[in-house]
Amino acid sequence: MAGDYFNLSQPGMVGGFVVVYGVFLALGEFGPGNNIGLLAAKTCATGIRGKYYGIAAAIGKIGAFVGTWVFPYIQAAAGDNAVATAQYPFWVSSSLCVLSAALALFCLPHIGQDTIALEDARFRAYLEANGYDTRQLGLKKGESVENAHDSDIPSEGVAVKGEKTVA
């Protein structure tokens, strides 16, 4: 988009601009902005999910504020060149997209079908190792320790990347 902006901005190239901008926008919608909530919901224990999601949402709001605040400075960096004024925001956005892709490929943990159950078991083991009473953790309203079923907790423990976590 930024590389061919001069040609795409010509009056006869409206169709090309719409297609290229549509692809640019669609690929942006598949990225970290939409997946931040999914990652926050799937990569932590149930007991802390709300706080984790709130922090992720707050970081997203801060990013939106900073982007809005910095945008005029990005355009002003091009000087009087009208084409560069329109190109610079796309260069910055594309660079951030590449950085986001690299972070996602190399820094995110594997998220499988059982990630939440594994995180819950690891969280319970952490709490028990630090002296917390977890007998009532996960009980439904009106359910007591005596009539609760322990079928949700694996009795043999959960192996997570080489470590043995006992639930």
Categorize the per-residue pLDDT at 147 as very low, low, confident or very high, splitting at 50, 70 and 90. Answer: low
Q: Who has greater pLDDT, 4 or 21? A: 21
Q: How far apart are CA 20 and CA 7, in angstroms?
A: 12
Q: How far apart are CA 94 and CA 21, in angstroms?
A: 12
128 & 49 share domain:
no
102 & 124 share domain:
no
* In the predicted structure, residue 15 carries a pLDDT above the cut 70: yes
Q: Which pair of structure tokens corresponds to residue 138?
A: 């996960």
Angle formed at CA 134 by CA 132 and CA 136, multiple of 5 degrees: 135
* In the predicted structure, residue 24 carries a pLDDT above the cut 60: yes
> The pTM is what?
0.64
Q: Which pair of structure tokens corresponds to residue 5?
A: 């902006």
119 & 101 share domain:
no
142 within a domain of the structure (yes/no): no
